[in-house]
Amino acid sequence: MTVKRILLGLGGTDYTPVAIQRAVELAQRHQAEITGVTIMDASRLRDVGSVPAGAAHAARALREHRLEVSRQSMQDALESFREACDRQNLPYGVQQERGEPFALMTNLARYHDLMVFGLRGIFDYGLGLDPQDTLTRLVRANVRPLIAVSREYRPIRRALLAYSGSPESAKTIKRFVQSQLWPNLELRLLTCARSTGDARALLAEMSAYCWSHGYEPETEASDASPKTRILAAALEWNADLIVLGNGVRNLWLNRVLGSTALHIIQHADCPLYLAQ
């Protein structure tokens, strides 16, 4: 997999500076161009709920405040993005959109190789309006590959690969390994299964695949719940990135995302790589 076009969500949140830094780092390494995107969902910003009698003025003031905060945050994020790209002499473009973020990002994703967003907050602009909504909807819709960055920047040296044994999960790991996003990575393969014997068999096959691409992964077979073990293993091993695949499509959409992946999105302290 070659990375030549990176889509960067400029959400004006605490995660935005790290998202910019991560996208610039990857663009430098892979000689890629970056598209920085801001999206103002005016209808959502104007929705202040039911307005009691006599509170129309306060409601109007709140709407205007939200719009102004969003505009300013968008401009600040765009300025930081342009400055970062200019410093490194990187090719880039800017798109300032209006409308529903999920639909717009789904469309833009078709024409990019990789997306970079904040782990908790994509187009929130610091207002706290359900910051995970767009990210979880993109994940549900299998809009991938996607890197969700943490609040603090960290060099990516160690990646924990969560492998369920499903074809979709295998595709995620294969895509990550093939992409060679970061050089000299240490990898750790983790499989959670009721039978540790089954887990070890899965690990042997995927480990051999990684070896063929120049990696020498450590392995872990666990009979614990992936919902808890993935995060615990990442913490214990001091992982800089979690590579998270999905299971069978319907199972993933209806059950796994509602528990394991959503739990990890909500509680991970390190960046996530999601792909299919």
Residues 145 and 162 occupy one common structural domain:
no
- Single out the residue in 87, 121, 149 at which a domain terminates: 149
Name the helix (H) or strand (E) containing 262: helix 262-267
What mean pLDDT is predicted for residues 37-62?
72
pTM of the model: 0.87
Residues 59 and 181 occupy one common structural domain:
no
Task: Write the burial class of residue 227 (CB in 10 Å: 0-12 exposed, 13-18 middle, 19+ buried).
Answer: middle
Residues 135 and 254 occupy one common structural domain:
no
Residues 133 and 37 occupy one common structural domain:
yes
Residues 223 and 162 occupy one common structural domain:
yes
Residues 139 and 207 occupy one common structural domain:
no
* pLDDT of 252 strictly over 60: no
- Single out the residue in 149, 171, 193 at which a domain terminates: 149
Residues 220 and 112 occupy one common structural domain:
no
Q: 219: domain CATH number?
A: 3.40.50.620
Closest CA to 10 of 1, 21, 20: 20
* pLDDT of 43 strictly over 80: no
* pLDDT of 23 strictly over 60: yes
Tens-place pLDDT, residues 190-228 = 998 777 777 888 899 999 999 999 999 999 998 888 888
CA distance 269 to 271: 7
Tokens found for residue 163: 């492998």
Tens-place pLDDT, residues 56-96 = 777 777 778 777 888 888 899 999 999 999 999 999 999 99
Q: Which DSSP letter does residue 159 get?
A: E
- Number of structural domains, the chain? 2
Residues 219 and 270 occupy one common structural domain:
yes
